[in-house]
Structure 1
Amino acid sequence: MGFFSFIKDTGSKLFGTEDSAEQKAQKVKEHLSQYNFDLSGVNLNVDGDTVTLSGKAKNIDEKQRILATAGNVEAITHVKDDLTLTEPLKIEIPDIQKTMYTVKSGDTLSKISKEVYGDANQYNKIFEANRPMLSDPDEIYPGQVLYIPQA
């Protein structure tokens, strides 16, 4: 399906130095659960710095949000997407890689909105798509990966 890259030293700090792969997987799943995602059909494995998600996600929006949230964990550099969708796609997405955006130094949601939609005033669409991972539109950081919904 897909393979997404993340910056290793950014994101939520979940792991201890002695955590096993199973403990890391459980901690990532608990982290995802905080955001009220439907994880009933989602399987999660951690191997080194890679999280693999398989099974079924509710829809494309939830799938992309799960992938972004799983990758925004310190010490995780890759998320392998083996998720399928319970609800069929209603729109054609030409390049699923374009639905993820890695925040760079100096970025704001308005700046990102201008870049991806051509309109800085659509920043709230990005903010809402990344809630509750984002609690304030002014609090993003370099290396964070955001889900960018269709315009």
Structure 2
Amino acid sequence: MGILNFIKEAGEKLFGSAPAAAPSADEVNQKAADAIVAYVRAQNLSVDGLGVTFDSATHTVTVTGTAPDQATKEKILVAAGNVQNVDKVDDQLSVTAPAPAAQFHTVVAGDNLWKIAEKYYGSGAKNDVIFQANTPMLKSPDKIYPGQVLVIPPQP
């Protein structure tokens, strides 16, 4: 558990444009939290008691609930964080079947999964391990973008 940092200008655009009448901060926060919950569920990530709150003042998402395993927990955290206007994710998730935690990598210009696998595993041929750890958020190994945060599982 802890805080994960993200780049708030990068990520999925879930919050839409501002309505004509200015909503209250509570309404903005609830709408954002609901959008993130819907996005996590759309990724078919299983979590018991999923709770998401968003604080627009700090651009922080807090995620609670119980994930079945460490890999699912990590996917939930990056799904919640790789959203435009999210700067931090406060990880309050528990795990039914704990395992060693993954590392996280923030994509920079020029990165690809081969280079990232070489950095973390010493072999670019292990790039599919990173791709699989980040599906279903990644639809293609060639579609990563600067600012995106990826899960890097422990050495295979």
Same fold judged by TM-score > 0.5? yes
1:3 is matched with 3
Provide the C-alpha distance between the structure 1 equivalents of 2:2 and 2:121, rounded to a whole number of angstroms.
23
Alignment of 1:1-151 (within 5 A): 1-16=1-16, 17=18, 18=23, 20-48=28-56, 49-89=59-99, 93=100, 96=101, 99-151=103-155
TM norm structure 2: 0.88
Mark the runs of 5 or more structure 2 residues left unpaired by the alignment.
none
Which structure's CA Rg is the greater one? 2
- Deviations 1:8-27, CA, capped at 9 Å, x for gaps: 11111011335521111110
Provide the C-alpha distance between the structure 2 equivalents of 1:41 and 1:52, rounded to a whole number of angstroms.
13
Greater share of residues in strand: 2
Aligned-pair Cα RMSD in Å:
1.3
How much identity, in percent, do the aligned residues show? 40
Mark the runs of 5 or more structure 1 residues left unpaired by the alignment.
none
Asked if the contact 1:41/1:57 (under 8 Å) is kept, the reply is: no
Provide the C-alpha distance between the structure 2 equivalents of 1:39 and 1:26, rounded to a whole number of angstroms.
15
Asked if the contact 1:112/1:123 (under 8 Å) is kept, the reply is: yes
TM norm structure 1: 0.91
- Deviations 1:46-83, CA, capped at 9 Å, x for gaps: 11111001121111000001101110000000000011
User: Which ranges of 4 or more aligned residues in structure 1 deviate by more than 6 Å?
Assistant: none
Q: Count how many residue pairs are aligned between Structure 1 and Structure 2.
A: 145
